[in-house]
Structure 1
Amino acid sequence: MKRKIIITAAVFGALAVIAGAFGAHGLEGKLTPKSFEVWHTAVQYQFYHVFALLFLSTLTRYKTGLVKNCYNLFTLGVILFSGSLYLLAFSQMFNWQVMNFIGPVTPLGGLLLIGGWVTLGIAALTNKFV
């Protein structure tokens, strides 16, 4: 499990750096300020959860399903939350009509991220992490 979490964090981290650099250098002037802010938010939250996953990887020695649940919630949350924000930012540039699809996905991703943090807290309360 530890290896899987670290690999996921590494992939998300690399993609966040690529997305951040692409946003700063490739999208400058091509997105509205609002869409650029949406892009930036997606990169930020993706990076935050890279660090959360790396921390979570240190807890895998505690045999608890909560760590696995937390991993799943963070991973799916990043994909849905940041992924939908990336699509939303691009939708303006390419005039895509994605709001009907993306509208409910972003908050669902956010709820999964919150669920991951709550699960991490429950894991800490119910286990003696030393």
Structure 2
Amino acid sequence: MKTITLIIGAVYGLTSVILGAFGAHALKKVLSVERLTSFETGVKYQMYHALLLLIIGFFLKFETGIEKTTAWFIILGTFLFSVSIYFLSFQDVLKTNLKFLGPITPIGGLFMILGWALLIYVFAKTKF
């Protein structure tokens, strides 16, 4: 689980840098200010949680189910949150209605919140 967490954290970091650069340069001409702001929010949250995954990947031992669940909640939550925002940002460009993805974003956010809450629990129970 440690290796998976570190690899996914690094992949999230890599793709957030690529998407951030893409958004800063190429998307200014394509997306409205509102859609670009949403896209940038997805990129920011992806990077924040990439860093979090790298940190917990290095510091957690993943000996308990709670530690593993913490990582999976953050991995899944970040994916659902950010990817749904990316697609919603592009729905005008794609000329398609992707509003069905709207409820996915807060579900992803909920998983991220649960991941942070479990991390607090892990820290409270761990003797350092």
Give the TM-score normalised by structure 2. 0.95
**Structure 1 segment 1-130 matched on structure 2, within 5 A:** 1-61=1-61, 63-99=63-99, 101-128=100-127, 130=128
Structure 2 spans left out of the alignment, 5+ residues: none
Question: 4+ runs of 1 displaced by more than 6 Å?
Answer: none
Matches of 2:33 and 2:62, distance apart in 1:
45
Give the TM-score normalised by structure 1. 0.93
Q: What's the C-alpha RMSD, in Å, of the aligned pairs? A: 1.1
Q: Return the letter of the residue paired with 2:102.
A: G
Deviations, residues 16-75 of structure 1 (Å, cap 9, x unaligned):
011111111111121000000000000000000011101111233262211110110011
Matches of 1:104 and 1:7, distance apart in 2:
28
Matches of 1:111 and 1:87, distance apart in 2:
19
Counting aligned pairs with the same residue, the percent is 38
Structure 1 spans left out of the alignment, 5+ residues: none
Q: Return the letter of the residue paired with 2:7.
A: I
Name the CA shift for 1:83/1:62 in 2 (closer, same or farther; >3 Å).
Answer: closer
Could you tell me whether the CA contact under 8 Å between 1:74 and 1:113 is conserved in 2?
A: yes
Q: Return the letter of the residue paired with 2:68.
A: K
Larger deviation: 52-61 or 117-126? Answer: 52-61
Aligned residues: 128
Larger deviation: 52-61 or 85-94? Answer: 52-61
